[in-house]
Chains A and B, each alone.
Chain A
Amino acid sequence: MSDTTRLSLFEAARVVARRDFHAILFSRAFFFFLLGPLFPIIVGALAGGIGGQVQRDVTVNTVAFAMSAGDNAAIAAVSNRVGGTIEDMPEIAMIPPETTKAADFSPAALLRESNYSVVVTGGLERPVITGPHPQIHRWDGTISLLAAMASGAAPTELPAIAEQPIEATAAATRSDRIRTAQAGQLLLFLLMMLLAGMVLSNLVEEKANKVIEVLAAAIPMDAVFLGKLFAMLGVSFVGIAVWAAAGGTIGLLAGNALPQLPEPALGWPLFITFGIVYFAMGYLLLGSLFLTIGGMAATVREVQTMSMPITMAQLLVFFLAASSITSPGSPMELLAAVFPLSSPFAMLARAAQSEALWPHALALVWQAVCVVLFVRIGAMIFRRRVMKSGKGGRIAKADKGMLNLS
């Protein structure tokens, strides 16, 4: 034992957190809790697999050749001859020479107006591929092989490919990033609501076990709250890791069938990092509210009744953050970024849409301050409301009989 006469706040919180973390992690209830969301994931994956197949069928797999009439004919002949032997062979569409010879012909315009993956121009010796970058990379090998075979060269002497990627417009990019922001917010909300629910029953269980007075006598209530919050956060990360692993495995198996989100403004690594940090902050904020309620409630039924307004309020907060996605910098979006409970959602949306880092630093400091405040207020309410009297609880009766004592 150290020479000091008490544990520091964080040492005390760690004792509580370690106990809670182990107790929850190795409980049967947590195992079933983990399984719960896996069922929808599996069902979703099955449905996604079927949908993906359908999507692959209708997805744009067509490469348009807009070369000279002779080159086009040579490509068509090779395609007919060896198409079945080439893996991932695209559909081939031939653009008639009268179209390509028009003065206003442009491969980019053709792509916008039609449903092709890429458009191939130039000649067999040097095909030029126009299209979105991922699509160019998807088809360049096959096109090069077809061109080589059509020109009569050996398949090993592949012609060089010229690329003409189509740059996305600023408006399109913004629109894409909004999709990423929405997806991030929704995932954050679902995870928080799913996992913060676990916090709810924690203190009720503690009171049912009657251990709370032992804790309250030994360490400050702030430490009890902090310990419980961080234990639940740790458990949440375990849950998320399991679900992410399951989701990732399914994603790998499903390949390109799963929807791919546009890259956020800060890039995926930083966006995911912020996602984790904002989840932690949002979870701590919501969890401290739920812990306060759990501390005041005596039964699980009371907890459910008392937590309903907070759950509803959290929905409103989510809608506030979600509705302001499209107007960054607006008063509504600023309100969502400043209000503690909506701040993590709003800031994650910003991470998807804006490259500025300083607002995140500011928001994280503000959210951390709010967590400390919420925990302190929750602990104070708990101390005032819970530890009222002993088992006897006969204060009123005793008063009647004994107030005349000297």
Chain B
Amino acid sequence: MLTETGTMTRPLANGHRPLAIEARGLVKRFDDTLAVDGVDISVPEGAIYGILGPNGAGKTTTLRMLLGIIDPDEGVRRVFGNDRPHEVAKLIGYLPEERGLYPAMKCDEAIAFMGALRGLPLDQGKARGRELLENHGLGYAVDRQIRQLSKGMAQTVQLLGTLVHRPRLVVFDEPFSGLDAINQGKLEAMIRELARQGTTVIFSTHVIHHAERLCDEVAIIAGGKVPYAGSVDIARDRISAQVRLETRTSEGAWRSALPDDARHDAKSDGSHFWYFPVPDTGIEALLKRLIDGEAGILSLSIERAGLHDAFVEIAGEAAARALDEDNAEGAAR
């Protein structure tokens, strides 16, 4: 479906939905640094797609290549079937990680200017800008200059400028960074609403919970490579469900039913917790052996693996550690 040159027929994801973005073998070097090393991504139209990885993993560079801000050294990328993303610029909205607006512009002018860059006439942009500001509780700030706004308000104005021309594809680079919990929740709701209206949303993040809550599909990126790209459910299914068992005793014949590497926590109240993957023989056989062995079961639950576990499994401990460090830094900020 992809050819090295020329236009392409719109590819279909899983044989169903057409793709908003398709990239194959993207490579980007900066001097001696290999920033992105053979990234493959397919984003179906209407999906919420997350690019998940720690800082420096290549997320921003990948997004910039997808949007045509920089060209890949190798590989091809297509946005709505076009290998020159600027050719479909009117269909795209982009919120970069480094937020920026002209400080002297008024809010409605800033939104209209961003729309004008994407082909929306200025007068329409201003009118829509005022409407959007009103709808997002910033109607009182329409005539204020950007320099007079708080950081959070300015971020909201830029976000509205990203959406003012009603794009079919919205790309957010680390959209949640710098937002407080309330505004993070509002942004999540906005992303869901965009997807409900049929807009494709791609965002990069180093916060797993946002990806887990929002995304239909994710690309896990680490060290410039994408070791996994696909559905969040399938990523989680790569790890067996975990059994969480609570017993009164720690010894007995029933112990042979537990795998040797089961994790054990002894609690101060005398109870014992055991964590291990659901055995291949199934949960019923396990339960029978525990009962027959008089394990003294206090509780037993089966927990599905989270995206964080999947990330560790797919990207490795080092990448997961880097991701956790980024999250800790973000929380500290």
Contact B117 A12 (CB under 8 A): yes
- 25 A-B pairs with C-beta separation under 8 A: A4-B119, A5-B80, A5-B90, A6-B119, A19-B102, A23-B102, A23-B104, A210-B100, A212-B100, A214-B114, A214-B117, A218-B114, A219-B89, A220-B86, A390-B61, A390-B98, A391-B55, A391-B98, A399-B33, A401-B223, A402-B54, A402-B316, A402-B319, A405-B316, A406-B227
Contact B113 A19 (CB under 8 A): yes
* Known contacts A209-B103, A398-B54: A218-B118 contact under CB 8 Å: yes
Tell me the minimal C-beta distance from A305 to chain B in angstroms: 21
How many A-B contacts if CB must be within 8 Å?
163
Most buried by B among A393, A395, A403, A406: A395
Contact with A along B189-206 (1 / 0, CB 8 A): 000000000000000000
Interface residue A392 (Cβ < 8 Å from any Cβ of B): yes
Interface residue B116 (Cβ < 8 Å from any Cβ of A): yes
Contact A389 B30 (CB under 8 A): yes
Residues in chain B near residue A396, CB distance under 8 A:
33, 56
Residues in chain B near residue A27, CB distance under 8 A:
104
Residues in chain B near residue A406, CB distance under 8 A:
227, 316
Interface size on B, residues (CB 8 A): 63
Residues in chain A near residue B103, CB distance under 8 A:
209
* Known contacts A214-B117, A219-B89, A219-B117: A395-B33 contact under CB 8 Å: yes
Contact B69 A213 (CB under 8 A): yes
Docked Cα-Cα span, A246 to B96, in Å, equals 46
Tell me the minimal C-beta distance from A34 to chain B in angstroms: 18
Closest-by-CB residue of A relative to B318 is A401
Contact B94 A218 (CB under 8 A): yes
Contact B119 A1 (CB under 8 A): yes
Docked Cα-Cα span, A4 to B316, in Å, equals 45
Contact with A along B20-41 (1 / 0, CB 8 A): 0000000000100111000000
Contact B60 A5 (CB under 8 A): no
Of B158, B223, B322, which one neighbours A403 at CB under 8 angstroms? B223
Docked Cα-Cα span, A390 to B36, in Å, equals 12
Of B33, B92, B98, B319, which one neighbours A401 at CB under 8 angstroms? B319
Tell me the minimal C-beta distance from A378 to chain B in angstroms: 16
Interface residue A397 (Cβ < 8 Å from any Cβ of B): yes
Contact B86 A387 (CB under 8 A): no
Interface residue B64 (Cβ < 8 Å from any Cβ of A): yes
Contact B56 A398 (CB under 8 A): yes
Closest-by-CB residue of B relative to A212 is B100
Contact with A along B95-111 (1 / 0, CB 8 A): 01111111111000000
Interface residue B59 (Cβ < 8 Å from any Cβ of A): yes
Closest-by-CB residue of B relative to A401 is B318
Closest 5 CB pairs of A and B: A210-B100, A390-B60, A392-B55, A394-B56, A398-B56
Docked Cα-Cα span, A406 to B312, in Å, equals 12
Contact A402 B57 (CB under 8 A): yes
Contact A387 B223 (CB under 8 A): no
Tell me the minimal C-beta distance from B97 to chain A in angstroms: 5
Docked Cα-Cα span, A213 to B96, in Å, equals 7
Docked Cα-Cα span, A397 to B99, in Å, equals 24
Interface residue A2 (Cβ < 8 Å from any Cβ of B): yes
Tell me the minimal C-beta distance from A349 to chain B in angstroms: 41
Contact B56 A209 (CB under 8 A): no
Interface residue B236 (Cβ < 8 Å from any Cβ of A): no
Of B35, B94, B102, B326, which one neighbours A395 at CB under 8 angstroms? B35
Most buried by A among B34, B223, B225, B227: B223
Most buried by B among A1, A387, A394, A405: A405
Contact A394 B120 (CB under 8 A): no
Residues of B in contact with A (beta carbons under 8 Å apart): 30, 33-35, 54-61, 64, 67-71, 80, 82, 86-92, 94, 96-105, 113-114, 116-121, 124, 158, 165, 173-174, 222-225, 227, 315-316, 318-319, 321-322, 326
* Known contacts A5-B91, A19-B102, A398-B55: A219-B60 contact under CB 8 Å: no
Residues in chain A near residue B30, CB distance under 8 A:
388-389, 395
Interface size on A, residues (CB 8 A): 45
Docked Cα-Cα span, A212 to B64, in Å, equals 13
Contact with B along A361-396 (1 / 0, CB 8 A): 000000000000000000000011001111111111
Interface residue A15 (Cβ < 8 Å from any Cβ of B): yes
Contact B321 A401 (CB under 8 A): yes
* Known contacts A6-B119, A210-B100, A211-B101: A405-B91 contact under CB 8 Å: no
Residues in chain A near residue B34, CB distance under 8 A:
399
Residues in chain A near residue B86, CB distance under 8 A:
6, 219-220
Docked Cα-Cα span, A388 to B29, in Å, equals 9
Contact with B along A186-215 (1 / 0, CB 8 A): 000000000000000000000001111111
Interface residue A312 (Cβ < 8 Å from any Cβ of B): no
Contact B223 A398 (CB under 8 A): yes
Residues in chain A near residue B82, CB distance under 8 A:
5
Of A6, A391, A394, A405, which one neighbours B87 at CB under 8 angstroms? A6
Given pairs A6-B119, A405-B315, 12 additional interface contacts (CB within 8 A): A5-B91, A6-B87, A7-B90, A15-B116, A210-B96, A213-B96, A217-B89, A218-B117, A390-B56, A390-B61, A392-B56, A402-B315
Docked Cα-Cα span, A213 to B165, in Å, equals 18
Docked Cα-Cα span, A390 to B204, in Å, equals 11
Residues in chain B near residue A403, CB distance under 8 A:
223
Contact A6 B89 (CB under 8 A): yes
Tell me the minimal C-beta distance from A21 to chain B in angstroms: 13
Interface residue A80 (Cβ < 8 Å from any Cβ of B): no
Interface residue A404 (Cβ < 8 Å from any Cβ of B): yes
Docked Cα-Cα span, A4 to B71, in Å, equals 23
Interface residue A42 (Cβ < 8 Å from any Cβ of B): no
Contact B96 A214 (CB under 8 A): yes
Residues in chain A near residue B173, CB distance under 8 A:
390
Tell me the minimal C-beta distance from B28 to chain A in angstroms: 9
Docked Cα-Cα span, A403 to B34, in Å, equals 10
Interface residue A60 (Cβ < 8 Å from any Cβ of B): no
Residues in chain A near residue B89, CB distance under 8 A:
5-7, 217-219
Closest-by-CB residue of B relative to A220 is B86
Contact A214 B321 (CB under 8 A): no
Tell me the minimal C-beta distance from B154 to chain A in angstroms: 11
Tell me the minimal C-beta distance from B107 to chain A in angstroms: 15
Tell me the minimal C-beta distance from A206 to chain B in angstroms: 9
Interface residue A216 (Cβ < 8 Å from any Cβ of B): yes
Contact B121 A1 (CB under 8 A): yes
Docked Cα-Cα span, A301 to B30, in Å, equals 25
Of B35, B94, B100, which one neighbours A389 at CB under 8 angstroms? B35
Docked Cα-Cα span, A401 to B60, in Å, equals 18
* Known contacts A218-B94, A394-B56: A383-B117 contact under CB 8 Å: no
Closest-by-CB residue of A relative to B113 is A19
Residues in chain B near residue A383, CB distance under 8 A:
69-71
